[in-house]
Amino acid sequence: MFNWNIAGHENIKKFLENSVIREKIANAYLFYGPEKVGKKDMARQFAKSLFCVNKDRPCEECLNCKQIEANIYPDFFRVARMEEKGNIVIEQVRELREKFYRTSFLSGYKAGIIEEAEFLTDSAWNSFLKILEEPPSMTVIIIIANKIAPIPATIISRCQRIKFSLVPEDEITEHLCERGIERLSARRIARIAGGKIGLAREFANSRELFDKYNEKILTFLRFFEKDMLLKEKNDVIAAISKEREQASESFDIIASLLRDFLLVKTNPDLVVNLAHKEKMIDIGKRFESRKISQMLENCVKFKSYLDSNVNRKLLLENMALEME
């Protein structure tokens, strides 16, 4: 009856499918968890399942499914940042509110998705709260956020919370194979993607992106080596600190390397960056577990500072110092 093309998150899928079957849909859901693990896909499949006219939902072929995919279905609304660095502003939420309180075009559900909800301004949240306080009947809103911390408590308490985790590597591999990727490549991609199905798909679609990411891993591995020159480090840092996303991704890569250094000591089979296992073992040996844990702790801490407008270059320089 259901046909959700999503890798991993079996429990979440079942839970949402059941709520569609029983027509027990909450007024608001909060999907949160690491970026690129499939929250947006899940939200869309869920929305399509509410509107799809066929038995195997979503069929992806009926007009409703297609219109939702293209964000033009009259009872489906997507709210997202207008530009990469912007916020989601009160005007956008007001527009959503108006649409929600209007009668449905097709006298059924109305659904809204708010992407990257951590970027709602305070006034936008206040306006949004009014929808949740008096939700019109047969409406459902899915709030999507990587982190729950920036979401106001008054909002969280009114949502059905659904936490997403990283997707197991095997499930990503299978998913890629089903999409026609050859098994060996699928496995390599799944390994490098480190549980992020969205990233795995991006890699599967672009060899160039995959190679670039792999190169970044190698670059950060270099930071742990004794012979890397300060100038070389500074050049890398200057380049990645230009953009927040780049800096954030760099901290993720460093964290995944550090976790692997710990694993090569205890459980080498679980190493994520397997493509560079030999090097990992060499470098891992040089540091004590305690030191690695401390680096990891700082890495996570520095990454969290990115959200509070601390100088990115300074954070990365501090991290580089830790990695010696």
* Helix count and strand count (H, E) for the chain: 15, 5
Q: Which residues have CB under 8 Å from 298's CB, separation 6+? A: 318, 319, 322
- Count CB neighbours of 205 within 10 A: 12
Distance (Å, rounded) from C-alpha 225 to C-alpha 220?
9
Q: Residue 20 Cβ, how far from Zn ion at the closest point, in Å? A: 13
Quote the tokens at residue 241. Answer: 């600190």
What number of chain residues touch Zn ion (CB under 5 A)? 6
Q: What is the DSSP letter of 119?
A: G
Name the one range near Zn ion by CB under 5 A: 28-36, 52-60, 157-165, 173-181: 52-60
Cβ atoms of 72 and 37 within 8 Å: the answer is no
* 52 lies in the site for Zn ion, by CB under 5 A: yes
* 59 lies in the site for Zn ion, by CB under 5 A: yes
Name the one range near Zn ion by CB under 5 A: 51-59, 76-84, 263-271, 272-280: 51-59
Cβ atoms of 306 and 312 within 8 Å: the answer is yes
Name the one range near Zn ion by CB under 5 A: 44-52, 157-165, 166-174, 201-209: 44-52
**Residue type (1 letter), 289:** S
* 62 lies in the site for Zn ion, by CB under 5 A: yes
Q: Residue 65 Cβ, how far from Zn ion at the closest point, in Å? A: 3
Q: Residue 45 Cβ, how far from Zn ion at the closest point, in Å? A: 11
Q: Which is nearer to Zn ion, 25 or 166 (CB)?
A: 25
Q: Which is nearer to Zn ion, 2 or 305 (CB)?
A: 2
Q: Residue 127 Cβ, how far from Zn ion at the closest point, in Å? A: 32
Sole residue written with tokens 């795995």: 200
Name the one range near Zn ion by CB under 5 A: 63-71, 91-99, 249-257, 259-267: 63-71
Name the one range near Zn ion by CB under 5 A: 25-33, 49-57, 130-138, 238-246: 49-57
Q: Which is nearer to Zn ion, 54 or 165 (CB)?
A: 54
Q: What is the DSSP letter of 103?
A: P
- Count CB neighbours of 34 within 10 A: 18
Sole residue written with tokens 């499939």: 38
Q: Residue 313 Cβ, how far from Zn ion at the closest point, in Å? A: 49
Q: Residue 76 Cβ, how far from Zn ion at the closest point, in Å? A: 12
Tell me the H-state helices in 157-196: 169-178, 183-193
Q: Which is nearer to Zn ion, 57 or 188 (CB)?
A: 57
Q: Which is nearer to Zn ion, 59 or 90 (CB)?
A: 59
Name the one range near Zn ion by CB under 5 A: 54-62, 217-225, 232-240, 310-318: 54-62
Half-sphere exposure of 262 (CA within 13 A, CB side): 14
Sole residue written with tokens 């890798």: 7
- Out of 43, 65, 255, 319, which residue is the one contacting Zn ion (CB under 5 A)? 65
Distance (Å, rounded) from C-alpha 19 to C-alpha 25?
6
Sole residue written with tokens 């990233």: 199
Residues lying near Zn ion in the complex (CB under 5 A): 52, 54, 58-59, 62, 65
